[in-house]
Chain A
Amino acid sequence: MPPLQRGFRRLLGVLDAAATKLYGWPWNPLHQSGTIAVAMLVALIASGVYLILFYRLGAPSASVARMAADPWLGSWIRSFHRYASDLFVIAAVLHLIRMFAQSRSWGSRTLAWISGLLLLGVGFACAWTGFVMAWDSFGERLALNGARLLDALPILSEPLGRIFAGDGPVPSAFFFVNMFMHIALPLAMGAMLWLHVSRLARPTLMPPKRVTWSIVGALVLTAVLLPAELGPAANPFVLASHTPTDLFVAWWLPLAERLSPGETWGIGLVGMLALVMIPKWTRRPREGRWAPSVVDPRLCTGCNQCPQDCPWDAITMIKRDDDRPTLVAHVDPARCVSCGICAGSCAPMGIGPAGRTGRDQLAAARAELAGPAAGSAAGQVIAICCSQVPPSHVAALSERGALIQQVSCAGNLHTSVVELFVRSGARGVVVCACPPRDCVSREGPKWLGERLFNDREAELQARVDRRRITVITCAPGALGAALAAYDAFAGSLASLDIADSESLLELDTECEPVPLEAEGT
């Protein structure tokens, strides 16, 4: 992992831990950064529709000042609109950092990365036009800088900056075009958002209702108690000493004013290029941990479960090239992110990334049980930990006597492995998963829970005592809660007898028959 990525990952871990301690992992806003950005976009459109009703192209600053002076609705809705735009930028940047730090910026996620950058860029442009609409000293400052940057390009024959020079009133046409852009850009953002999530199955667009309404409530309260400042009306005959500047949207402004337009364009373009190139720079060789899933057509029964569970729409069912009457799964390696969720969904264990199919997991577990530590599982609690679980959680569980096993993602875990451990004499099995909204594979904890407890394919067999199985969420900053859950589970196991040994059952014959004869071996 590149040092920059590692640094961001560390920073993210600290922030995540702090937010989880405060809000608990189900409501941690940092886990919802992308969906919060979408929620803010919706809030911006809703509040913007109200504000546009009272905006006057002929008297922009006066109409906004009138809104700001209205104590009933205008003042707080205008402030809410402003703060929602700030939160949009904050959430989008946090989302970008999270995706980068978690190596979710390359491969099939490249489209989402690039479209996300575009969304953020268009969001900035939209905010720019919004501030110019208000036509206060800050809006004028943004307009002047925008004109300065555009005038440096060989596009317009007449310098745009002349319309703000003061030798005539700023034409209404300028405010019309600006307002048009402010309305049209969010529509473009809607289209880009569709593109952004187009490679996801079941995209989650909104945060949990509790988080959404808490944020909206907090923004409304802030808007009422601390209304956004409106600077004095734009005046080309006065040099303002300060402007009330929105640092979230115009953080670059003080720097750009010190540089020439050429230097500003240069730095901006290099920065954008660097961000666009991140998918290339963070790309990993498609082998080992990053090898795409493969299908063993001999084992595939055509049950259609893996396409349903794949969070990336990477699997389709196609016609077989042998004489069996079923379809066969086909993985598009360009869309596969190697999460291994398909391996957990496949009862006959015929799909998954190399080394992580159900059969591979089962073989590794058997080897573990038969190896030097043979018999160590008897009477123990086995903790199967997702590779994203913080090391502190793993160490704490180990200290409590749990036998640690690793799996790349909770959703990758095949339920047969859980059954094998229970039948090998383990007192119980704990699966340590990430918070569902922070799963790098998107749906790992969700499908794991369904397979273990709700009979989703490949379900944990009914013969396995569910009292011996649990899933605990291991989020940074929630070690205490995870250990409490573990202790409660371990305590509940004390009253249970040891499960039947695996030798009393023949797992292979318990499974559905696999028609291997079709491949002619």
Chain B
Amino acid sequence: MSGIARGALAVAASAVAMALIAAGSSAPVPFHAEEGGRLRLSWSARPERIERCREVSAKELAEREEHMRQRVECEGHFASYALVVALDGQAADTAIVRGAGMRHDRPMYLLRSFDVPAGRRRVRVEFTRRERSETKHDGDDDDSERRTSADSGISAGRAQREAVERARRGKAAIPPRLVLDTVLDIAPREVIVLTFNQERRVLEILRQDGQDDRASKASK
């Protein structure tokens, strides 16, 4: 083989090798073969704390350092929740959801996907607290004002602050029962995200075009 012919062959082989690299670099590999859509449940929320609270007596308070004088002491655990998903009236999934962490005291996270055929689908999602709660927050107590006025020194207003904090924690927790029952028109290859809106405290639906379906019902 002459030098020129070999050179031409080498250039051609290099061109083929480079073309193969370019082709292999952007090969159209199938991802979602199905033509249907997908319902994705995704949210994080704080589980409710189920606790028994007791008011610390004035005698007990007096025995404690001033900065340790918490008016109400609570003991308990974080609630677990039952998730029930039904598509077109058929049960698609049931699960028990707890807060993350060894003691389940971290926020709970939910991420589940359901492949659904495109078209009009009835979707029902229930997220319900499993335990009964008998927690009574001091923030709701009629006597709080009276006890607050008794605070003095660095404890001034402490009882009120504690009540506000307990109330805030209660509100930050996910409601004990969330239900979304709706009919959705699901386009082929569309992903519909169902999430918990922390501000509105409802389950809501997010779609690409921005149309939100807030047909959920939240009830305490």
B29 and A243 form a contact (CB under 8 A): yes
Contacts of A241 in B (CB 8 A): 30-33, 189
Question: Are A238 and B31 neighbours in the complex by a CB distance under 8 Å?
Answer: no
Which A residues lie within 8 Å of B111 (CB)? 159, 161-162, 165
Across the two chains, which residue of chain A brings its CB closest to B19? Answer: A226
The residue that A239 contacts in the complex, of B27, B109, B189, B195, with Cβ under 8 A, is B189
Q: Taking the complex as formed, is B56 at the interface, i.e. its CB lies under 8 A from any CB of chain A?
A: no
The reply to whether A245 and B32 contact each other, CB–CB distance below 8 Å, is no
A 81-95 binary contact with B (CB < 8 Å = 1; else 0) = 011001100100000
Structural contact, A237 and B31, CB atoms closer than 8 A: no
Q: Is A167 an interface residue (CB 8 A)?
A: yes
16 further contact pairs, Cβ within 8 A, besides A162-B42, A167-B195, A218-B15: A86-B24, A158-B100, A158-B107, A167-B206, A221-B18, A222-B22, A228-B25, A229-B25, A238-B208, A239-B189, A242-B29, A242-B30, A243-B29, A245-B27, A245-B29, A246-B26
The smallest C-beta distance from B209 to any residue of chain A, in angstroms, reads: 9
Which of B29, B32, B37, B190 is A247 in contact with, Cβ under 8 Å? B29
B44–A222 CB distance below 8 A: no
Contact digits for A216-247, partner B, Cβ 8 Å, 1 yes 0 no: 00110110001011000001111111111111
Counting CB contacts under 8 A, is B40 at the interface?
A: yes
Known A-B contacts A158-B109, A162-B44, A166-B40; A86 and B31 likewise in contact (beta carbons under 8 Å): no
- The reply to whether B31 and A242 form a contact with Cβ atoms under 8 Å apart is yes
B195 & A157 in contact (Cβ 8 Å cutoff)? no
Interface residue SS majority, chain B: mixed
**Please, which residue of chain A has its CB at the minimum distance from the CB of B34?**
A239
* A445 to B21 Cα, complex, angstroms: 34
Is A464 engaged at the interface, CB distance under 8 Å to the other chain? no
A-contact bits for B173-204, CB 8 A (1 contact / 0 none): 00000000000000001111101000000000
Asked if B13 CB lies within 8 Å of chain A CBs, one says: yes
* Contact residues in A for B195 (Cβ distance below 8 Å): 167
Q: Considering residues A22, A221, A239, which has the most beta carbons from chain B within 10 angstroms of its beta carbon?
A: A239
In the assembled complex, B130 has its CB within 8 A of some CB on chain A: no
| Interface members, chain B 10-52 (any A CB < 8 Å) | 10, 13-15, 18-19, 21-22, 24-34, 37-38, 40, 42-44
Contact of A243 among B25, B31, B107, B207 (CB under 8 A): B31
Instruction: Output the least CB separation between B21 and chain A (Å).
Output: 5
Q: Is B9 an interface residue, CB under 8 A from the partner?
A: yes
| A245-B26 contact in complex given A22-B9, A167-B206, A218-B18, C-beta closer than 8 Å | yes
Q: B208: which A residues are within 8 A, CB to CB? A: 235, 237-238
Task: Give Cα A253 to B31, complex, Å.
Answer: 10
Interface size for A (C-beta < 8 A) is 42
User: Which residues of chain A are within 8 angstroms of B13 by Cβ–Cβ distance?
Assistant: 22
Residues of B contacting A222 in the complex (Cβ-Cβ under 8 angstroms): 18-19, 21-22
Given contacts A222-B21, A236-B191, contact A23 B10 (CB under 8 A): yes
The answer on a CB contact under 8 Å between B26 and A229 is yes
Count B-side interface residues using an 8 Å CB cutoff: 42
Interface residues of A (CB under 8 A from B): 21-23, 82-83, 86-87, 90, 137, 141, 157-159, 161-162, 165-167, 214, 218-219, 221-222, 226, 228-229, 235-248, 253-254
CB closest residue in chain A, given B102: A157
- Some 28 contacts from A to B, beta carbons below 8 A apart, are A22-B10, A83-B18, A86-B25, A87-B21, A157-B100, A157-B101, A158-B44, A158-B100, A158-B107, A166-B42, A167-B193, A167-B206, A222-B19, A229-B26, A237-B190, A237-B193, A237-B207, A239-B31, A239-B37, A239-B38, A240-B32, A241-B30, A242-B30, A243-B29, A245-B26, A246-B27, A247-B24, A247-B25
Residues of the B chain whose Cβ atoms lie less than 8 Å from the Cβ of A237: 190-193, 206-208
Residue of A nearest to B43 (CB): A167
Q: Which residues of B contact A240 (CB under 8 A)?
A: 31-32, 189
Chain B residues whose C-beta falls within 8 Å of the C-beta of A22 in the assembled complex: 6, 9-10, 13
Q: Which residues of A contact B37 (CB under 8 A)?
A: 239
B106 within 8 Å of A by Cβ? yes
Report the separation of the CA atoms of residues A187 and B100 in the bound assembly, to the nearest whole angstrom.
Answer: 35
Closest to A157 in B: B100
Residue of A nearest to B23 (CB): A226
Closest to B192 in A: A237
A165 and B42 contact, CB distance less than 8 A: yes
Which one of B25, B42, B107 has the highest number of Cβ atoms from chain A below 10 Å of its Cβ?
Answer: B25
Q: What is the CB-to-nearest-CB distance from B19 to chain A, in angstroms, rounded to a whole number?
A: 7
- Among A141, A166, A218, A228, the residue within 8 A (CB) of B206 is A166
Are A236 and B193 closer than 8 Å at their CB atoms? yes
What residues of chain B lie closer than 8 Å to A21, measured between beta carbons?
6
A86 to B25, CA, bound (A): 7
Residues of B within 8 A of A162 (CB): 42, 44, 109, 111
Q: B28 contacts which of A23, A159, A242 (Cβ < 8 Å)? A: A242
A157 to chain B: which residues have CB within 8 Å? 100-101, 106, 109
| Closest chain A residue, CB of each to CB of B191 | A237
Q: For residue B21, which residues in chain A have a CB less than 8 angstroms away from its CB?
A: 83, 86-87, 90, 222, 248
Distance of B153 from chain A, by nearest CB (Å): 40
Is A165 within 8 A of B40, CB to CB? yes
Within the complex, the shortest CB–CB distance from A221 to chain B, in Å, comes to: 7
Which residues of chain B are near A236, meaning CB under 8 Å?
40, 191, 193
A244 to B28, CA, bound (A): 5
Q: Please, how many angstroms separate the alpha-carbon atoms of A334 and B14 in the complex?
A: 41
Say yes or no: B28 contacts A228, CB within 8 Å.
no
Query: How many Å from the CB of A213 to the closest CB on chain B?
Result: 13
Instruction: Give B37's nearest chain A residue, CB to CB.
Output: A239
B27 touches A247 (CB 8 A): yes
Q: Identify which of residues 78-124 in chain B touch chain A, using a CB-to-CB cut-off of 8 Å.
A: 100-101, 106-107, 109, 111
CA distance A240 to B24 in the complex (A): 19
What's the Cα separation between A239 and B190 when bound, in Å? 6
B193/A82 in contact, CB under 8 A: no
A340 to chain B, nearest CB (A): 35
Which among B19, B28, B101 has the highest number of chain A CB atoms within 10 Å? B28
- Which single residue of chain A is at the shortest CB-CB distance from B6? A22
Q: Nearest Cβ in chain A — how far from B18, in angstroms?
A: 4
